[in-house]
Amino acid sequence: MSDSSTDEIKTVTIASHNPVKIQATRNGFRAMLGEDFRVTPVSVSSGVSDQPLSDEETLRGALNRMGRAAAIAPDADYWIGIEGGLEERAGELAAFAWVVVRSGVTTGKGRTASFFLPAQVAALVREGRELGEADDMVFGRENSKQENGAVGILTADVIDRMKLYEQAVILALIPFKNPRLYQQTSLGLPDS
């Protein structure tokens, strides 16, 4: 690549400084759109609980993060928000994340697969702790949310947090890979 082509690299502003989310974004964009992007992290509030406890709240957090990233860096080509959340399902806690990507008038959304937390971790979350903190307490780790996360710990890294998020980034990029099929996608929450 010549020096003059560096000016042509598109920018992605991500609403996180978490290295796992940054790498998942970089990998997902490269895999889906076939080029390298400059990924720039910014710090923004999600506007939801520190530990979202519903699918709707988690999606709202990702939407808020993406929108606030766009407000901070309006000249970027893409903005992305990633929000991890939990939801009660028949007495168990399911873990997942939402990813929202916007460029121009197009917005794409993708959700990770879900998995269920062990009872000891779920009990700590129900007491008010964030999932990462609960994982660190139960598994004797430190800052696991910026490494392999609960899914990596529980699968012995067969699927780590980065791989889980990367797939959702790819799913959120479907409208950008197929623009004629997804013109002017709504920014709002799905209809109930």
> What confidence tens digit (pLDDT) does each residue in 172-190 have?
999 999 998 887 545 554 4
Residue 170: its pLDDT value, please?
98
Helix (H) or strand (E) holding 88: strand 78-89
Q: Which two tokens stand for residue 152?
A: 């990596």
Residue 124: its pLDDT value, please?
94
Residue 120: its pLDDT value, please?
95
Residue 180: its pLDDT value, please?
87
Q: What is the pLDDT of residues 24-50, one digit of tens each?
A: 999 999 999 998 899 999 999 999 999
Spatial distance between the Cα atoms of 32 and 174, rounded to a whole number of angstroms: 8
Domain boundaries along the sequence of the chain: 9-178
Q: Which two tokens stand for residue 141?
A: 């780790």
Q: What is the pLDDT of residues 47-95, one digit of tens each?
A: 999 999 999 999 999 999 999 999 999 999 999 999 999 999 999 999 9
Number of continuous H segments (helices) and E segments (strands) in the chain: 7, 6
End-to-end CA distance of the chain: give it in Å, rounded. 47
Spatial distance between the Cα atoms of 55 and 63, rounded to a whole number of angstroms: 12
pTM here? 0.88
Q: How many residues does the chain have?
A: 192
Spatial distance between the Cα atoms of 164 and 189, rounded to a whole number of angstroms: 22
Residue 143: its pLDDT value, please?
72
Among 84, 76, 69, smallest CA distance to 24 is for 84
Q: What is the pLDDT of residues 149-172, one digit of tens each?
A: 899 999 999 999 999 999 999 999
- According to CATH, the topology of domain 9-178 is Maf protein (3.90.950)
Among 25, 27, 111, smallest CA distance to 76 is for 25
